Amino acid sequence: MPTFTALTTIEGKPAAEKLGAAMENLIPEPTGVGVFEVEDGSGLWEVGGYFTENPDETALTLLATALGAKQFVISELPETDWVAHVRRELAPVAAGRFFVYGSHDADKVPENAEPLLIEAAMAFGTGHHGTTLGCLRALDRLIGEGFEGKNVVDIGCGTAVLAMAAARIWPNSVLASDIDEVAVEVARSNVKANGLEGRVICVEAAGFAQPDLLAASPFDLVFANILKGPLIGLAPDMAKNIQSGGFAILSGILNEQADDVLEVYARTGFNLVHREEIVDWTTLTLSRTQ
């Protein structure tokens, strides 16, 4: 299946977030939209989307013009085995008992750490971003407090690093889902590389709407490292699919968005257990009380 990208830059976070939100309403709709600061001090933000159909160039031009962005650059990605060919040599990351590393740093894994080998670059979740790091720290904190996950799912799993972290600690299999087929392929490759085949089950799904997830519900721990909008949209389903006393670890939330997310989840029966800010990003640990 062909994959198309549409990328542009724009000044300022508010404008970038507005443009990213507007892209979600395009037809054909993107399978994913990303908004990232260009970390060169320029004040520019990159906004991009992935599409399985050729995006509407006219609609993108109108959006860019209306919001003051540069014109979108549209590209078709070649049919490439990204899992085999795309690698990032990133420095290892320690997050509590977890140690995320690439094969080039295999000799640096501490003796008592829970190792998580992550190589592929075509999905989020290497531990280097404040969202993934925050989720790993939140998991480490729950483990330290004596929580034992018996039925765990990672929604929007990216590389599946969070699902694999849970599988390193607890004996039961962990589900991992993502809406993007490339991410699912990457996740399965990472699971195999970590020797966790059969322990982490990766599926393509939007939210909880997938037979394996529905059959396994209710969960006692749900990871969702996605974005504010999808997290808010998932709140009612979170309440339905997390058992009373269970936990949700949520991230992909800018610091200034965290209160909005908390307010919505409070209305659906969740209490705040812990909140951590790492640079611009907040990770929330919530418990379901109803």
Read off the pLDDT of each residue in 246-267 and give the average, rounded to a whole number: 94
Please report the pLDDT score of residue 87 as a whole number.
47
| More confident site: 49 or 166 | 166
How far lies 48's CA from each of 1, 34, 86, 204, in Å?
19, 5, 19, 22
Query: Does pLDDT of 67 surpass 90?
Result: yes
Please report the pLDDT score of residue 122 as a whole number.
40
Give 143-176 pLDDT, tens digit per residue: 999 999 999 999 999 889 999 999 999 999 999 9
Q: Supply 284's token pair.
A: 């929330």
Which of 259, 213, 256, 260 lies closest to 238, judged by CA? 213
User: How many Å apart are CA 268 and CA 256, to the nearest integer?
Assistant: 21
Cα dihedral 94, 90, 195, 188 in deg (nearest 10): 120
Q: How many CB atoms lie within 10 A of CB 279?
A: 10
- Percentage of the chain surpassing pLDDT 90? 58
User: Minimum mean pLDDT among 8-12, 46-50, 88-92: which range?
Assistant: 88-92
Please report the pLDDT score of residue 64 as a whole number.
94
Please report the pLDDT score of residue 83 as a whole number.
46
| More confident site: 262 or 5 | 262
Please report the pLDDT score of residue 164 as a whole number.
96
- Percentage of the chain surpassing pLDDT 70? 89
pTM of the predicted structure, to 2 decimals: 0.69
Q: Supply 163's token pair.
A: 């699902």
Please report the pLDDT score of residue 211 as a whole number.
94
Give 131-140 pLDDT, tens digit per residue: 888 999 999 9
Mean pLDDT of the chain: 87
Query: Does pLDDT of 96 surpass 80?
Result: yes
Chain-centroid distance, C-alpha 174: 16
Please report the pLDDT score of residue 104 as a whole number.
73
**Using 50, 70 and 90 to split pLDDT, how confident is the model at 80?**
low
Q: Supply 54's token pair.
A: 């050729």
269 dihedral zone (left: phi>0; alpha: psi -120 to 50; beta): left
Query: Does pLDDT of 32 surpass 80?
Result: yes
Give 213-243 pLDDT, tens digit per residue: 999 999 999 999 988 889 999 999 999 999 9
Tell me the β-bridge partners of 248.
222, 286
**Using 50, 70 and 90 to split pLDDT, how confident is the model at 129?**
low
**Using 50, 70 and 90 to split pLDDT, how confident is the model at 2?**
low
Query: Does pLDDT of 50 surpass 90?
Result: no
| More confident site: 78 or 53 | 53
